């Protein structure tokens, strides 16, 4: 049995959908036949296109609640409906905690990655209720484990997951709310984080599936969660991380070596226990 994710006639808004993961999400929805609206502070270097279709761009400052509300109201009036909101806009530079002078910068990270999705979701809610649509939050594995160097970002993404779970309860049954939790993704900016191709490959090798995700793979997960096939899924967090991060203790131990005095057979004594 084949499953076709056809979103023809649906209107989808992707915040920060002009590059990187956001553009990959927008292209996935274009492939599925949706009318896609992308917004960001600055226009894309080139239009976001896929399958002969082009995403419609609007310049919006997501920190401006009035501008955000005006964007969704105008979009719904122009297209007659709004079916899906993907809260993708976000990100952070590497900035360790410790300097009081950085307080304002950490707060900006929290604002962009947590408060902006809340603002956008509330602004889109009346339109999504009319269409019985859905919200998809783009979280991060940084929100599920310690995030040294990007602590404010990790805290924001952890809060985002809880926000989505609460929204899912409050807004049911009219609006479904889910979170996609990506791991490391290969984008046009990967070199800023991981270095050259050898660096990207080395980082990818730490993932159980042996590589970084492609933006379109994050997009495919979003299309599924927005589709009728996911009609009974709400309040969920879908990990799209290639198996996550290999536990550090495995790199420090030869897990294939039998314990001292044991032949490796079933029932041999163990020298380590993980809890």
Strand partners, 170: none
* Angle, CA of 193, 196 and 200, to the nearest 5°: 65
Are 203 and 194 in contact by the 8 Å Cβ rule? The answer is yes
Question: In this structure, are residues 218 and 224 in contact, taking their beta carbons and an 8 Å threshold?
Answer: no
**Is 108 strand, coil or helix?**
helix
Scanning the structure block, which residue is given the tokens 């956008």? 120
Phi/psi for 271 (5° steps) reads: -100, -5
State how far the Cα of 89 lies from the Cα of 70, in Å rounded to an integer: 18
Q: Known catalytic residue: 194? A: no
Catalytic residue from among 29, 57, 153, 194:
153
* Catalytically annotated residues: 153
């Amino acid at each position: 049995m084949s499953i076709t994710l056809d979103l023809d006639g649906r209107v989808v808004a992707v915040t920060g959908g002009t590059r990187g993961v956001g553009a990959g999400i927008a292209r996935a929805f274009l492939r599925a036949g949706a009318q896609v609206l992308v917004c960001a502070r600055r226009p894309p270097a080139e239009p976001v296109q896929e399958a002969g279709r082009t995403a419609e761009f609007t310049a919006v400052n997501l920190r401006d609640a009035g501008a955000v509300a005006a964007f969704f109201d105008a979009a719904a009036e122009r297209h007659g409906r709004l079916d899906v909101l993907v809260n993708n806009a976000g990100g952070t530079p590497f900035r360790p905690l410790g300097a009081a002078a950085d307080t304002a910068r950490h707060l900006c990270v929290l604002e962009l990655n947590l408060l902006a999705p809340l603002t956008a979701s509330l602004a889109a809610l009346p339109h999504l209720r009319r269409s019985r649509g859905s919200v998809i939050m783009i979280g991060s594995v940084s929100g599920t484990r310690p995030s040294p160097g990007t602590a404010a970002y990790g805290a924001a993404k952890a809060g985002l997951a809880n926000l989505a779970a609460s929204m899912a309860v409050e807004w049911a049954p009219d609006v479904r709310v889910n979170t996609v939790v990506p791991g490391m993704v290969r984008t046009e900016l990967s070199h800023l984080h991981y270095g050259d191709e050898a660096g990207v490959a080395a980082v990818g090798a730490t993932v159980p599936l042996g590589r970084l995700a492609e933006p379109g793979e994050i997009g495919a997960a979003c299309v599924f969660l927005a589709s009728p096939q996911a009609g009974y899924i709400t309040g969920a967090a879908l990990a799209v991380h290639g198996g996550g991060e290999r536990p550090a203790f495995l790199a420090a131990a030869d897990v294939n070596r039998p314990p001292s005095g044991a032949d490796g057979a079933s029932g041999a004594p163990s020298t380590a226990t993980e809890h």
